[in-house]
Amino acid sequence: MEEALDFPHFLDDDHPLFRFSDGLFHKECLHSHEDGPEFLRLHADYEAAREKEIAEMGEPGPPSAQLLEVLKRLGESQTKES
Ligand SMILES: [Zn+2]
């Protein structure tokens, strides 16, 4: 059985890696894709920021617009080089 990873809708529609957001992928397939490592890095950043935000709010809620904006800029600066 292949291990599958599913992701929340955490990237904006106009983000270069939006197609991976809100999706379900085999771990192996994602890792072998050229944009896979970049996406996984963004997702890890999202998870870390999310955990911090939830801890500060005291309860889980939808990601704030501020958090999504931070991630969007992060993704843009990291994909410029390619
Ligand atoms: Zn697959």
Predicted confidence at residue 66, as pLDDT, reads 77
Q: How far apart are the C-alpha atoms of 14 and 78, rounded to whole Å? A: 15
Q: Please state, as a whole number, how many other Cβ atoms lie within 10 Å of the Cβ of residue 46.
A: 22
pLDDT tens for each residue of 58-78:
877 777 777 777 777 766 655
Of the candidates 39, 61, 40, the residue with the CA atom closest to the CA atom of residue 50: 61
Q: How far apart are the C-alpha atoms of 8 and 72, rounded to whole Å? A: 15
Task: Note down the domain range covering 67.
Answer: 4-79
Alpha helices in the chain (DSSP H): 27-32, 36-57, 65-79
CA 53 to centroid of ligand 1, rounded, Å: 32
CA 26 to centroid of ligand 1, rounded, Å: 5
What's the predicted TM-score (pTM) here? 0.72
pLDDT tens for each residue of 1-44:
789 999 988 888 888 899 999 999 999 999 999 999 999 999 99
Domains identified in the chain, total number: 1
**Quick check: 60 and 8 in contact, CB under 8 A?**
no
CA 46 to centroid of ligand 1, rounded, Å: 24
Predicted confidence at residue 58, as pLDDT, reads 85
